[in-house]
Amino acid sequence: MNMSRVLSLGLGIALLAAPGLADDSRWRDCRTCHAVEAPNGDVIARGGRSGPNLYGIANRPLAADSGFRFYSDDLRAAAATGARWTEDNFVAYLSGPDEFLRAMTGNPNAESGMHVALRSGARDLFRWLQGLSN
């Protein structure tokens, strides 16, 4: 078995063993729109393509996945502030995407385009995603 397959298998097992992700319930909502795919093309977590790839999101600037073209104008405006996907920003965004952007941009009508809020488990999800790119 080649090394990339071993790595992918290990990361897949890590997803199942990660605290808060073992039952895959938190990833279920995310995978509707998002996948986690390494730069070499290895798929770590299968998912949709209507949202950006979440590989490497930890500490990346907002709206910075160059392979994704459909960020909302309001998320791009928040990105223009220099904000990054820190753990706290990630958790705040997932708990209320529109509210996060309204606070970040000062626009009371800002909308994210994301229609799912994750009220718990976002820290575990962030830490798992962060661990993939270390």
Average per-residue pLDDT in the chain?
83
DSSP string, the chain: --HHHHHHHHHHHHHHHSTTTTT-HHHHHHHTT--EE-TTS-EEE---SSS---TT-TTPBTT--TT-----HHHHHHHTTT-B--HHHHHHHHH-HHHHHHHHH--TT---S------SSHHHHHHHHHHHT-
pLDDT at 39: 93
Express each pLDDT in 68-100 by its tens digit.
999 999 999 999 999 999 999 999 999 999 999
The residue that leads in pLDDT, 110 or 6, is: 110
Structural domains present in the chain? 3-132 (1.10.760.10)
